[in-house]
Amino acid sequence: MALKIVKGSIDRMFDKNLQDLVRGIRNHKEDEAKYISTCIDEIKQELKQDNIAVKANAVCKLTYLQMLGYDVSWAAFNIVEVMSSSKFTYKRIGYLAASQCFHEGTDVIMLTTNQIRKDLSSPNQYDTGVALTGLSCFVTPDLARDLANDIMTLMSHTKPYIRKKAVLIMYKVFLKYPESLRPAFPRLKEKLEDPDPGTDAESHLHKCNIAKVSKQRDYASMQESLRRCDFFAVKYLGLLAMSKILKTHPKSVQSHKDLILQCLDDKDESIRLRALDLLYGMVSKKNLMEIVKKLMLHVDKAEGTTYRDELLTKIIDICSQSNFQYITNFEWYISILVELTRLEGTRHGHLIASQMLDVAIRVKAIRGFAVAQMATLLDNAHLLTGNTQRNGICEVLYAAAWICGEFSEHLEDPMQTLEAMLRPKVATLPGHIQAVYVQNAAKLFATVLQKHEGETESQAAQETSQLLIDRLPLFVQSANLEVQERASCILQLVKYIQKLQQKNVEVAEEVTALFAGELNPVAPKAQKKVPIPEGLDLDAWINEPPSESESEDEKPKAVFAKEEPKHSRSRHTEVDEKELARRREVRKQEQANNPFYIKASPSSQKVYDAPGVEHIPVVQIDLSVPLKVPGMPMSDQYLKLEEERRQKEKAERKKEKKKKREKRGKERKADSGPESEEDIAPAHQVDIVTEEMPENALPSDDDDKDPNDPHKALDIDLDKPLADSEKLPVRTHRPELLKSPAEDRDSESVPQETKKKSGKEKKEKKKDKEKDRKRSKEEKKKKKKHKVEEELLESQPEEAVQSEETKEAAAPPTSTSAEQEVCVLMCVCLQEVTAPSSAAAAVDTSSATAPESEPDEPKDTEPEDTKSSKHKKKKQKKEKEEKEKKKKKRHHHHHQHHGDAGGEDSVQNGTVEEEEPLPPMSNYSLLAENSYIKMVYDIQGNHQDESKVVVSVIFENKSDSFLKSMEFNVLDSLNSKLQRPEGAGAHDSLTVPFQLPPGVSNEARFVFSVQSIVMPQKLKGTLTFIVKSDESSTHEKLDFKLHFTCTSYLITTPCYSDAYAKLLESGDLKGSSLRLEGINMPFHHLLARICFHHHFSVVERIDSCASMYSRSIQGHHVCLLVKTSDQTVSIDAKCDEPSLLGNVLDEIKQTFSKC
């Protein structure tokens, strides 16, 4: 070992440290990547070494490389190793690296729980601080759940440095584990009201919707900043402030409209954007047109596409906000939209398009106008598409074509529009737009037919058919599947119609019927609101899910389908029927999902020269002013018109009012103030089609909430009283349904077997790292030859163990084999690296005896036959050994978990280093037992309520029958009462919330309220249950006595030496003492026992003398000074409640008398 250390430090001398690495990278500017990759190789070597200093150095370098963009997650496990170093220097490096690269997906993160818990309760405040800081960066829901209670304890730490951090991190914990908010809230509130200046950061928590005043955090510092800050910041902040005021006092901001518009000219983009934001909030019916006009001017002036795009979206946002609330004249709005299409290089073509569609569909009165505008747009499409750079804007053609087609009855000259839509140049448009063109050409065709139907000379109709037949082949050859399909379909249709026309058959009506029916907009949330019909299970499989192999088979099929268009470009009719049916299905689905029928799928836009296209004359309209679409009414004109109209209206209204007033006398007050919003009537009857909702839609209010808002989870009613189920998990036991022990054991025995086979290899194939860690420790222990203990272990109860065990097994359900390997490795390393601290934490061992709770247990209660059946598959000779091992392992679990619960922190506090490990301990003691059922129980105080204790009872079904309808009842005393649900009588029994199949055990918790805690107490109770076997069922009953010791009212509470000294000095405490003779165990075992069984924590330990502390649920302080010499232990104790102290000491004495 010594040699290793020497070797390590020599290695270290040659290792690069962070500075060397940085220097090296700077010296290799030209081949940086290569240099770094050699460095990473070196780091990998360093990480393989045993020396923790070398490892820490390597991890530190990795942190630097992470900043440069290198993924270092492969070293996550090494980071955990460094984190668990006992030295602050390395621990800090480890936590830093973890905070830089751990996240919820990091699998080793769940291995850190115990380490973090240990650091949190470390006597060194900086260990705690570093752990809190690290945790704040990578806390996961699991960590939050497991550590919430520990962190809550830290909120009343003696050091303000820790308190402050603990309070801050609670916010993160709430976000990850919202259930913790309600139980933690009272203490949090207390902390917030705490005038202690050390915790100024606590006001941060206001953000958790607790109090929304975070903005006023540091008024003083802000003022200082204002002084220091430049003018631009002030301008920016002024605008920001205005947007806040706007929400409450819109009028006062609106008067600064001009000022804000001026800010749009500012050279600072941040300020311009702020101003834009503000404008959004301050438009009204009255000023909308004016503001938008100003914005349009800016659009023309704007440099840089980003800002111009921002302007464009803002204009659209402003106009369309709250369902076009502020638009009084939709003609104006359409003109604005059309003007916006002139923008060069905008990315927002689709935005304009969707607005056009929206308005045209929903505002019936505007359709005529919109259609005329869109027809002009289509006619001048080349202006939009001329430049390939301006691709984005051609999206508006999609809208234009659809509007012209759908509302073609408003078209003045459908023939001309039809011609415009079938120009060869259209073929250069993106596929999804062409598809709309084709489809709507058919609609126009129907309109034309209808118009000319009945005329004797149906020349026009026949010309139209011919036009379509001439032009459509261009589209039939399109590379785009959608276009090609639609075009060929329509082409055939037109050909057929042409035939009929030649026979003078009237077809118009039937063709129109193809496109009959009106589309109504569907409300965005309509789908969500459709109530699920009764009896419909959406999660159920309709057909059996396809097996893996099938899905693989499908892949090549999909590829084939994709390639298909190439083959069938010219002869699509060859496509087999199945394929057609499939396509039809797809199309139907698309149509169902898209109110506009058209699937907007971008695709390649290849042009295929088809025979017969060249001879079509391409008419290019040459315009001298290319950017002004001819015949377009400019939006400005509307502004003028609108103003005039309003003037007129106003005047008329006044007149009317006058008349009225004359008629009615002076009943009404004069309305001389400025024109109010409501007075402005829309220019023409605007009929906004309401969005459709499904019949009997479910009313729901939660629509507006953003499902991604991380704070949503915190919308919790904080005023409701706490339910028991809500209390923070106090680590000992979580009621969880347990697997049958049989299953459990089977799964474990597999790794067991491999373990036998070879020495080192065995570690690589374990199910669960926790288990494994323990197992390897077990081996160590073996070496130490605690044979006596092993025998004793055998006789320990099984049932209490099971709950822990199953939980452990269930905890990492996602573990993959690789992960397991890593974990196993980790455990081995952890052991070597951190033997003094973490190993000691996990394994506290002293052989001597089983703890108090065990002795009255009967020997191995498990029936032998069940056992053997479980191991049928195993070889007989191995069976016995395995059994033994398993048992031991299980005990370890058990014990470890309990160690976590109470003993752990304290043991660390006691600086147990490199001493003999402690034996497993359990606080569960037998409650009652008969041939059917066995109950063991443990009583725990509850932090959150000073008058409650939780009794955890594990029920184990020992019989071969099914146990159900278990009812638990206790005869209340004046002092202690079982908490029953509201409405239940004082003598009613509580139903145990589960049933027990044979051999299964499960845990239930019962809450008792206690008044005085200074005396121990016994409560009589009864458990009744029904035993159900195949033939019969019987009603059974089991009496028990619940023993509330004074110890069970104590809660392990960390205390630091300075606070401890103060407490003793205060003189409020009364003393007592106790002598124990003939104690034959190491001092640290003694301390660990007191910690574990009596919920104490070690404050300080010097040689053979230790001070300990605990607190009762009602806040009594209990201080112990334990000294030992020659098998004699003397305990001097102080407490503010002498009788409580007396009883606790008696119980301690009893514990050791059993040793």
Rg of the chain over Cα atoms, rounded to whole angstroms, equals: 40
225 binds another protein (CB under 8 A): yes
222 binds another protein (CB under 8 A): yes
**Length of the chain (residues):** 1155
- Which positions ≥6 away from 16 have C-beta within 8 Å? 24, 39, 42, 61
The single residue among 226, 616, 623, 627 that binds another protein, judged by CB under 8 A, is 226
Task: Tell me which residues in 134-153 interact with another protein (CB under 8 A).
Answer: 135-137, 139
Task: Give 20 or 412: the residue with its C-beta nearer to another protein.
Answer: 20
Task: Give 236 or 1044: the residue with its C-beta nearer to another protein.
Answer: 236
Residue 108 · residue 826 · CB < 8 Å: yes
Instruction: Look up residue 962 and give its amino acid.
Output: F
164 binds another protein (CB under 8 A): yes
Question: Which span sits near another protein by CB under 8 A: 65-73, 76-84, 284-292, 1144-1152?
Answer: 65-73
1056 binds another protein (CB under 8 A): no
236 binds another protein (CB under 8 A): yes
Supply 767's token pair. Answer: 């199910």
Task: Give 226 or 514: the residue with its C-beta nearer to another protein.
Answer: 226
Q: Please state the closest distance from residue 117 (CB atom) to another protein, in A.
A: 18
Q: Please state the closest distance from residue 356 (CB atom) to another protein, in A.
A: 25
Listing DSSP states for 250-289 in one string gives HHHHHTTHHHHHHHTT-S-HHHHHHHHHHHHHH--TTTHH
The single residue among 11, 32, 64, 1072 that binds another protein, judged by CB under 8 A, is 64
Q: Please state the closest distance from residue 12 (CB atom) to another protein, in A.
A: 11
Closest CA to 452 of 509, 490, 493, 403: 509
Dist CA 417 CA 405 (whole Å): 9
Task: Tell me which residues in 23-52 interact with another protein (CB under 8 A).
Answer: 23, 26
Dist CA 1151 CA 1094 (whole Å): 9
Task: Tell me which residues in 309-368 interact with another protein (CB under 8 A).
Answer: 310
308 binds another protein (CB under 8 A): no
Residue 86 · residue 109 · CB < 8 Å: no
Locate tokens 């036959």: which residue? 865
Task: Tell me which residues in 272-291 interact with another protein (CB under 8 A).
Answer: 273-274
897 binds another protein (CB under 8 A): no
Closest CA to 1154 of 820, 849, 779, 808: 849
Q: Please state the closest distance from residue 198 (CB atom) to another protein, in A.
A: 9
Locate tokens 């369902």: which residue? 323
Task: Tell me which residues in 506-545 interact with another protein (CB under 8 A).
Answer: none
The single residue among 27, 270, 868, 869 that binds another protein, judged by CB under 8 A, is 270
Q: Please state the closest distance from residue 244 (CB atom) to another protein, in A.
A: 10
Residue 1120 has φ and ψ, to the nearest 5°, of -125, 145
- Which positions ≥6 away from 783 have C-beta within 8 Å? none
423 binds another protein (CB under 8 A): no
Residue 1071 CA to its chain's centroid (Å): 52
Q: Please state the closest distance from residue 166 (CB atom) to another protein, in A.
A: 10
The angle at the Cα of 820, spanning 48 to 785, to the nearest 5 degrees, equals 80
Question: Which span sits near another protein by CB under 8 A: 157-165, 784-792, 899-907, 974-982?
Answer: 157-165
Task: Give 86 or 465: the residue with its C-beta nearer to another protein.
Answer: 86
715 binds another protein (CB under 8 A): no
Size, binding site for another protein by CB under 8 A: 71
The angle at the Cα of 57, spanning 51 to 58, to the nearest 5 degrees, equals 90
Instruction: Look up residue 296 and give its amino acid.
Output: M
Listing DSSP states for 518-582 in one string gives ----B-TTHHHHSPPPTT--TTS-SSPPPPHHHHHHHHHHHHHHHHHHHHTSS-GGGS-HHHHHH
Task: Give 309 or 804: the residue with its C-beta nearer to another protein.
Answer: 309
Q: Please state the closest distance from residue 491 (CB atom) to another protein, in A.
A: 45
Dist CA 677 CA 555 (whole Å): 61
Bridging pattern class, strands 1105-1112 and 1033-1044: unpaired
Instruction: Look up residue 97 and give its amino acid.
Output: A
The single residue among 224, 552, 761, 1077 that binds another protein, judged by CB under 8 A, is 224
Question: Which span sits near another protein by CB under 8 A: 107-115, 197-205, 633-641, 813-821?
Answer: 197-205
Task: Give 89 or 1153: the residue with its C-beta nearer to another protein.
Answer: 89
Closest CA to 860 of 925, 955, 792, 807: 792
Dist CA 621 CA 532 (whole Å): 56
Residue 836 · residue 84 · CB < 8 Å: no
The single residue among 16, 189, 207, 583 that binds another protein, judged by CB under 8 A, is 207
237 binds another protein (CB under 8 A): yes
214 binds another protein (CB under 8 A): yes
Residue 774 · residue 825 · CB < 8 Å: no
**Secondary structure, 3-state, 411-435:** CCCHHHHHHHHCCHHHHHCCHHHHH
132 binds another protein (CB under 8 A): yes
Task: Give 101 or 949: the residue with its C-beta nearer to another protein.
Answer: 101
Task: Tell me which residues in 86-125 interact with another protein (CB under 8 A).
Answer: 87-89, 92-93, 96, 100, 103-105, 124
Q: Please state the closest distance from residue 215 (CB atom) to another protein, in A.
A: 6
1057 binds another protein (CB under 8 A): no
973 binds another protein (CB under 8 A): no
- Which positions ≥6 away from 1096 have C-beta within 8 Å? 906, 1050, 1052, 1090, 1108, 1109, 1110, 1118, 1120
The single residue among 49, 66, 861, 1022 that binds another protein, judged by CB under 8 A, is 66
Q: Please state the closest distance from residue 314 (CB atom) to another protein, in A.
A: 12
Dist CA 61 CA 64 (whole Å): 5
Question: Which span sits near another protein by CB under 8 A: 64-72, 448-456, 478-486, 501-509?
Answer: 64-72
The single residue among 74, 186, 232, 505 that binds another protein, judged by CB under 8 A, is 232
163 binds another protein (CB under 8 A): no
Interface characters, 1113-1132, with another protein (x: CB under 8 A): --------------------
Q: In what order do the strands lie in the sheet with 1017-1028?
A: 990-991, 962-970, 1017-1028, 1033-1044
Interface characters, 600-639, with another protein (x: CB under 8 A): ----------------------------------------
Task: Give 94 or 392: the residue with its C-beta nearer to another protein.
Answer: 94
Question: Which span sits near another protein by CB under 8 A: 81-89, 537-545, 761-769, 799-807?
Answer: 81-89
Question: Which span sits near another protein by CB under 8 A: 61-69, 501-509, 748-756, 1146-1154?
Answer: 61-69
The single residue among 49, 113, 133, 861 that binds another protein, judged by CB under 8 A, is 133
Supply 610's token pair. Answer: 């088809």
19 binds another protein (CB under 8 A): yes
Dist CA 439 CA 434 (whole Å): 9
Dist CA 366 CA 329 (whole Å): 9
Which helix (H) or strand (E) segment is 370 a member of? helix 367-379
126 binds another protein (CB under 8 A): yes
Task: Give 271 or 483: the residue with its C-beta nearer to another protein.
Answer: 271
Locate tokens 């031991």: which residue? 888
18 binds another protein (CB under 8 A): yes
Question: Which span sits near another protein by CB under 8 A: 128-136, 256-264, 601-609, 739-747?
Answer: 128-136
68 binds another protein (CB under 8 A): yes
